[in-house]
Amino acid sequence: MLNFIKLNAMKQLTTIAATLIVLFFVQCSSNSSDPAPSPPKPVAESIKDADGNVYTTITIGGQVWLLENLKTTKFLNGDDIPGNIPDGYYSWATVIDARKICPKGYRPPTDLDFNAMVSFYGGTSEVSMIRKGFRPAFLGYYNSEGFTVFLNDWGYFWTTSESSAQGSWAWLMHATEPAVKAASKKANGLCVRCIKD
């Protein structure tokens, strides 16, 4: 009889121990850090420029950006964009023109806009924006001497923020390098990525 009681007690202790082990692992699993959030996904919208080009949007840290570089050859009012810069590149004067180059409801970004987006991704020391969802097109820039520089290497994007009387701030994006802020001559042709008002 005594042996039966001891055996029964041992079974109960074994069951309790097993239950505690299961609870421990369940608790540890529930306290594990959540997986990193997935990159933002593009949203297909009927955003059109003055030429009728259609753009996709992406939301980054509360900002809504066009996912593609601006392609228009006309201002929003239908006027042709003047100058001898190739399509897809724009002088700073064109970027800030009152006739507007971005689709309705959108505008060229300020330096603060770009800085907020880059900061959302961890700052300029982080890896390239292409891995984060911004997807820059690496078209380099068209300089005032008439040459395309850093084509297929860097993407140069205007801001509306002046750095000096002759220059304005631009943001440079690379496939593997961190984002860089630099001043560019206003006469250079850079790309534009519009942001929602």
Please check whether residues 17 and 108 belong to one and the same domain: no
Q: Can you state the percent helix, strand and coil of the chain, rounding each to 5?
A: 25, 30, 50
Please check whether residues 56 and 103 belong to one and the same domain: yes
Please check whether residues 10 and 61 belong to one and the same domain: no
Please check whether residues 55 and 146 belong to one and the same domain: yes
Q: What is the pLDDT of residues 47-91, one digit of tens each?
A: 999 999 999 998 988 999 998 999 999 999 999 999 878 889 999
* Partner residues linked to 57 by β-bridges: 43, 66
| 26 pLDDT higher than 80 | no
Q: Which domain holds residue 7?
A: 1-32
Please check whether residues 153 and 60 belong to one and the same domain: yes
SS3 1: coil
Domain count, the chain: 2
Q: What is the mean pLDDT of the chain?
A: 78
> Which pLDDT does position 18 carry in this prediction?
44
Please check whether residues 86 and 166 belong to one and the same domain: yes
Distance of CA 166 to the CA centre of its chain: 28
Please check whether residues 112 and 164 belong to one and the same domain: yes
Q: What is the pLDDT of residues 81-133, one digit of tens each?
A: 998 788 899 999 999 999 999 999 999 999 999 999 888 877 766 545 555 66
Whether residue 38 is contained in a domain is answered as no
Q: Which helix (H) or strand (E) holds 180?
A: strand 180-185
